Structure 1
């Protein structure tokens, strides 16, 4: 799939840092592909963090992506740092 701007929202902003939330049916591996967030390059800055819910149409996962670099046209995120633990029940 592809980035959908309607699924990206600001959670908090302070001192030039923005904490975002993004939800998608895409996998974490798809989201951390260089260029996935290029359509939001005018908003995302290096050092921002994106709390994400991924794979929402399959086995959902959650985590944090760090915006590793961002120019006026290109965004690259680091691999997702997962949140939560394996459910052993």
Structure 2
């Protein structure tokens, strides 16, 4: 399913003191090339995302695949600009 404000990424990890990158988790059926488009996560600033954060995207495909993205920046409108990361089978992800 496409990104929905009703189903935003959830924050899974934040370093103590909010000094390091946070880790976010998001499930969906969109291809990674769609997720990597600037503005896909349109409410990133409202969620508390910041540059350097990691987004673990679980693509609900057969088999499910885990894709890693990094927040390159937050746009003036508050959306995330994600950069492509590595992909690995979700079954092997920790």
What range describes the TM-score normalised by the shorter chain of this pair?
A: 0.7 to 0.9
Aligned length: 84
Q: CA RMSD for the aligned pairs?
A: 2.2
Normalization by structure 1: what TM-score?
A: 0.77
Report the counterpart of residue 92 of structure 2 in structure 1.
Answer: none
2 CA distance for matches of 1:63 and 1:57? 12
The gaps in structure 1 that reach 5 residues or longer are 85-89
What TM-score do you get using the length of structure 2 for normalisation? 0.73
Contact 2:75 2:81 in 1 (8 A): no
Specify every segment of 5 or more residues in structure 2 that has no aligned partner in the other structure, as ranges: 90-94
- Per the TM alignment, residue 52 of structure 1 is displaced from its structure 2 partner at its CA by 1.2
TM superposition outliers: structure 1 runs of 4+ over 4 Å = none
